[in-house]
Structure 1
Amino acid sequence: MDLSTDVWGQLATTWMKPLSVHLFLIPHLLTIDKLPDKVVLQIFSYLSHREICRLARTCRKWRMIAYDSRLWKCVSLRPEMSGLHVSSLEALLALISIRFGPSLRYIELPIELITHTVLYELGSKCPNLTHMLLDFSTAMQLHDFNELQGFPTKLRYMCICLSEVIFMEGFMRKIYSFINGLEVLHLIGTYEKISEEEEEIYEVINIHKMKSATPNLRIVNLYGINFVDDSHVEAFSSNCIQLECLAVNYCAKVTGSSLRILFQRCRKMRCLLAQQTGLLSEHVQAVEWEKTQLQELDITGTDLTSDCLTDLLTRVPALRWLSAGQQDGFNDSVLRAFADKGNARSLMALDLDRCESLSEDGLYKFLLRFGPQLRGLVLSGIPHVTDQLWTGTLPSLRQVKILVMGMSEVDQLVDCIAQNCSQLERLELRWDPETLRYSDKSQKAIDTLRVRCLRLKCLVLSDGKYYETVKANFERADRTTVVRTTTNCRVSNCYLLSCYQDLLFN
């Protein structure tokens, strides 16, 4: 009989005795060192590259596994974004040849490592590289790219983080001939760095030329670029007829004057994200929405009139994802028109955060009617909406996966969520700390939520005593990553976008 089989047999027959008595029966050979290499490799695959590099110092076997190219398919070299720090160009060139090679699929490079030599080596040594992020955001000047002779040719996804003042045209001219296979393009601006007294705005990248080099684009994200306007939207529409998703979030100069021609040219357009833009009602109403394939729309923080919102929501054939928060014009008549004259039967995600013109009665009727089909609902920041709305509508939200709600009576509503929303994956509870009410029964309600909502992977709460109580409860059940604070995490319906994975950047 095998020794280990005999040992476990003895343990099974004497399991009622104290375990300490039988520790001597466990073979000393059963250590982590005896795990098969493929098992250790699988364990390492869940670790960051920083942790993998530390573990490589443990022993010769772990060093060999740590440097397996299968662990280096996706690499970030931006330390400020939790990536690896590479001390010199020579070290990076050695990594490209020895460790990355044909296995590399995705790489992020900071400005100091973006040189013609590095890009050439990536193009020649990493033939399967399909995703690349180039971070120029901290650049004060560019390297000399006059000698650039090669560049990755199989790129499907490229993200360029722009600088405020560095002009990119010299670099872009060198790579135009290599990027005609791009399907996903992210150009990330400096929105968060803009001051109220903005000085001269520079057009640091020539979008009109870029669109000619990228005819196969499906997804374009122009996030927070202060010079982007409607002419740039029209430029993409003129050459990228395969376009399915356009995101211009935080591009304040976009007014929507090019939307009509965009949807006429790009018949496959199904997703338009225009949060915090300068959309004008007359331009939005000029679009032939009834002829479009639009399914996903974000107009959060735009200043559209009630008439425009009614016209839009009753003409779009079949919206499945709608984000219309922070809209003063979004009132009961708009919501009623959407329900009665529009096609809300396809709706699966709705965000009406801080739409204070909506009444509790109007929301109640809408959610009773369409709640059973919703997978995501964001409804917070409306002070006159009471907890009675939630207790009355939660039984209709049995399929919801994402929920953001305002509340004051925590215990009752947490228990109601647990009883009705077993499919819940992400939950955020927002409240005014001064009106928050909970009691000694909180632990019981939290227990019910934890036990019934087994798919819950993210629970976001405002920092404070109640947050500490909930966090301790989940940690005792070894679910340490679930409870988070609004300081570093917010929940939204974006996870339900059809192209969510392609829209990720940074």
Structure 2
Amino acid sequence: MDGSCPLFLSNFGEQNGSERSVGYLVQKLPLYRPSPDTSDLGYHTLDNSACRSSSSTSIVAIPIKHQQQLQQQKSLGHLDDDLLLNIFSWLTTRERCTIAQTCRRLREIAWHPSLWQDIEVHHPQCLTIALNSIARHGYHSRVRRLVLNGANGHPGVLASLPFPRLTILALRHVRHVNDDTIAAILDNCMHLRELDLTGCTTVTRAYTHGAASQLQSLDLSDCHGVDDAGLALTLSRMPHLACLYLRRCARITDASLVAITSYCGVLRQLSVSDCARVTDFGVRELAARLGPSLRYLSVGKCDRVSDAGLLVVARHCYKLRYLNARGCEALSDSAVLALARGCPRMRAFDLGKCDIGDATLEALSTGCPNLKKLSIRGCERVTDIGLEALAYYVRGLRQLNIGDCPRVTILGYRAVKRYCRRCVIEHTNPGFSS
């Protein structure tokens, strides 16, 4: 094969470029066929009913001419271009590149511009080769979503290429990503709306030297180099940010939460879970200044967050839909009672390992009637009484975790099964039925 097809995979170079036999592709494609019990995803099965074996034991002789016709019907090369495009649109980037190396016609279909708006490159693929191949075909101007997950290589090529239509970029656990690379990407990709830098440990900020960024979602989870100063510099250029995730960024403190309130007035989702230096002071400042704009808040495993901080959340964030306070052992019934009264739109609540009891469940049953997900894993004071009250009034519950709740018995479990018929119950008691 000539050099027009990219080598996304390390073993592609070992494959022969001549046209493959039809049987190889026919054997591969059924892997992407929907199972009989799933809905039709829009692509075809390529099976020919005339070729299926009969349940009868009799043997039917098929003339050679008809066998040749049936063999041609199995060939991908005889399918219509539109049908092939429909099939290829459901394949991953890796799968399209694999099929592209089988024959010239399929290579042309696999590299159709309409198929290269959404690209994913995963470990152990080389992102340098992948990006160079995309640039060689000129498709960098068409890409709208680009995901590089743990891939090898240097992302400098990405920083040097213009991506005028790119709106979603994920650089998860990609090595050699630094502040200069991120700055170049933000300067080149003017229409970028979502940026995921999860696991990029050498990144300390995401700063653009040009005009203010249009970014609406930023994920800096596991970016251990991010501190208060770097985050403040980042947020100063992102006035439209609505979603910010700082999971396990251990160096940030309450100063970061104050900076968030100063620069991100329209923030709707925030996660600072596993940020041990965040305290009630930061939570109070955040809730008091952002108030009803917050819909999603996670302070899970923030040991220094207690009733004092979440009482302010209950007072000001009345449109809150999701709250994760898992592992906040200083949280008690009084704060949850206030949250149940002040946040009636709550849909999901994680109170695992908090110091709560039946009073919390009774308050949620009346204050949050639209609750869908609840975790009380490890809450040792919860009993069957509170669980039955919750199940009776919140019958739309879909997911419940009662693992490691020693005072919950089979009676509470059966009450949930009786009133919340569509609820999935997670538990650790071997005596409960599945």
Partner of 1:327: 275
Partner of 2:62: none
Is residue 106 from structure 1 mapped to residue 90 from structure 2 by the alignment? yes
Q: Does the CA-based 8 Å contact 2:167-2:194 persist in structure 1?
A: yes
- Residue-by-residue CA offset, 1:71-112 (whole Å, 9 max, x unaligned): 44499xxxxxxxxxxxxxx99974994896354443236679
Quote the Cα distance in structure 1 between the aligned partners of 2:324 and 2:277: 18
- Residue-by-residue CA offset, 1:360-394 (whole Å, 9 max, x unaligned): 12321x12322421112111211111122212321
- Decide whether aligned partners of structure 1 residues 271 and 410 sit closer, same or farther in structure 2, where only a CA change above 3 A counts: same
> Which among 142, 153, 177 is matched to residue 204 of structure 1?
153
Alignment of 1:69-148 (within 5 A): 70-73=40-43, 94=76, 97=79, 101-104=84-87, 105-108=89-92, 114-117=98-101
Q: Does the CA-based 8 Å contact 1:237-1:265 persist in structure 2?
A: no
- Residue-by-residue CA offset, 1:138-186 (whole Å, 9 max, x unaligned): xxxxxxxxxxxx35534332222121xx534344433332342111111
The residue identity in structure 2 corresponding to 1:153 is: S
Partner of 1:175: 134
Partner of 1:27: none
Kindly tell me the number of residue pairs found equivalent between the two proteins: 363
The residue identity in structure 1 corresponding to 2:186 is: S
Partner of 1:292: 239
Partner of 2:145: 184
Partner of 2:174: 225
Q: Which runs of 5+ in 2 are unaligned?
A: 1-31, 46-71, 429-434
Report deviation, 1:300.
2.2
Q: Does the CA-based 8 Å contact 1:259-1:284 persist in structure 2?
A: no
Q: Secondary structure at the match of 1:297?
A: strand
Identity %: 17
Partner of 2:55: none
> Which among 377, 381, 386 is matched to residue 437 of structure 1?
381
Partner of 2:188: 239
Quote the Cα distance in structure 1 between the aligned partners of 2:108 and 2:140: 15
Quote the Cα distance in structure 1 between the aligned partners of 2:175 and 2:74: 34
Partner of 2:298: 351
Query: Which region of structure 1 is more displaced relative to structure 2, 97-106 or 317-326?
Result: 97-106
Is residue 460 from structure 1 mapped to residue 401 from structure 2 by the alignment? yes
The residue identity in structure 1 corresponding to 2:174 is: I
- Decide whether aligned partners of structure 1 residues 169 and 273 sit closer, same or farther in structure 2, where only a CA change above 3 A counts: closer
Quote the Cα distance in structure 1 between the aligned partners of 2:402 and 2:75: 45
Partner of 2:220: 274
Q: Does the CA-based 8 Å contact 1:376-1:400 persist in structure 2?
A: yes
- Residue-by-residue CA offset, 1:3-56 (whole Å, 9 max, x unaligned): xxxxxxxxxxxxxxxxxxxxxxxxxxxxxxxxxxxxxxxxxxxxx95632xx7x
- Residue-by-residue CA offset, 1:452-477 (whole Å, 9 max, x unaligned): 342x3333343677497666555556
Report deviation, 1:246.
0.8
Quote the Cα distance in structure 2 between the aligned partners of 1:72 and 1:95: 20
TM-score where L is the length of structure 2:
0.70
Partner of 2:27: none
Partner of 1:200: none
Q: Does the CA-based 8 Å contact 1:319-1:344 persist in structure 2?
A: no
TM-score where L is the length of structure 1:
0.61
Q: Does the CA-based 8 Å contact 1:208-1:235 persist in structure 2?
A: no
Q: Does the CA-based 8 Å contact 2:100-2:108 persist in structure 1?
A: no
- Decide whether aligned partners of structure 1 residues 374 and 438 sit closer, same or farther in structure 2, where only a CA change above 3 A counts: closer
> Which among 215, 219, 226 is matched to residue 164 of structure 2?
215
Q: Secondary structure at the match of 2:35?
A: helix
Q: Secondary structure at the match of 1:369?
A: helix
> Which among 367, 374, 377 is matched to residue 320 of structure 2?
374
Is residue 316 from structure 1 mapped to residue 264 from structure 2 by the alignment? yes
- Decide whether aligned partners of structure 1 residues 358 and 122 sit closer, same or farther in structure 2, where only a CA change above 3 A counts: farther
The residue identity in structure 2 corresponding to 1:175 is: I
Report deviation, 1:304.
1.4
Q: Which runs of 5+ in 1 are unaligned?
A: 1-47, 56-65, 76-89, 127-149, 191-202, 487-506
Quote the Cα distance in structure 2 between the aligned partners of 1:154 and 1:416: 51
- Decide whether aligned partners of structure 1 residues 214 and 338 sit closer, same or farther in structure 2, where only a CA change above 3 A counts: same
Q: Does the CA-based 8 Å contact 1:300-1:323 persist in structure 2?
A: yes
RMSD: 3.9
